[in-house]
Structures are given as structure tokens and as C-alpha cells.
Amino acid sequence: MTRFAPLLIALLPLAAQAEGTDRGKYLTTIMGCTDCHTPGHFLGQPDMSRFLGGSDVGFEIPGLGTFYGPNLTPDATGLAGWTEAEIATAIRTGVRPDGSHLAPAMPWMGYAALTDEDALAIAGYLKSLPPVANDVPGPFGAGEPTGGFVMKVVAP
């Protein structure tokens, strides 16, 4: 055993955390999280200074209302009060910590098969982001004015 072994052993959890965070970053990228959760994305000019800080474009679902992609950063207007386990559960089940359901535009059914490791890697990555103060509007009931840009989902 070398004299550096205790240091290496002490650093292993940090290395595992960095690996998980890198995996979480990769997964949020390929899963398209920035599309619905970064301001300006749907307008062709994503504001990377507010990366994953919540959308400024709503999704109108006829008969249900209009929903804005929420802030996914660890700010009080985002996920600051959520644990990583709660984030992972919401990603895979569509259910918030308080038992309410995420907006119907959230494609959680496509993420339901994520492994625990992958869902927690995403949650860890989201918790590692710089906080962005952005309390997104809504949700709005069917027919309620939003005062903002809205994309309407039209059934086939």
C-alpha cells in the first residue's frame, strides 16, 4: 500500500459523484430536457445563462390548460426543496413529492424505464446546476389567458 492510498480512498466518493454528474449531464442532453426547460429554446434563441431555468413558452393542451416547463435548477423557484430521490421519482412516474401530477406535456412515460442509477444521475446533475431565479407562470386552466407565447398541441 502506498502512502497515497488513504487519499485515493477518500477521493473515491468524489470521483463517483463526478461520474454520476457527467452521466446526468449526458442524459439530460440526449433526453431533450433543455427543449422544454430552458428559456428561449422554442424561440430559437436558448438563454444559456438561465440553462434549465424554466420555459418562457407554454404548451396549451385543449381542454386541459396551458403548462410551462418548470425551473429545474436548485433555486427556491425550482427544485431547491426536492431531494434527489424525489426528482428521480417524478422523472419516472410523473408524480411530485406532494402527490400531485406533473403537467401532461412531461413525457415521463418515456422515462419510466430509466434505471435507478440513471434517474439519480439526472437528479444529481440538476442539483449541481447554478440556481436560476425564475418562477414560471401557470399552470392556467382551459381558456384562461396566459399573457405569453403559447404553443398549442393539436390532436390528430
Residue spans per domain, the chain: 36-152
Mean pLDDT of 84-90: 97
Given a cut of 70, is residue 89 above it in pLDDT?
A: yes
Please report the DSSP string for 25-44 in residue order: HHHHHHTTHHHHHSTTGGGT
Q: Find out whether 146 and 46 touch, Cβ atoms under 8 Å.
A: no
Which of 6-10, 60-64, 130-134: highest mean pLDDT? 130-134
With cell 398549442, the residue in question is 152
Q: Is the pTM of this model over 0.75?
A: yes
Specify the pLDDT at position 128: 97
Specify the pLDDT at position 12: 42
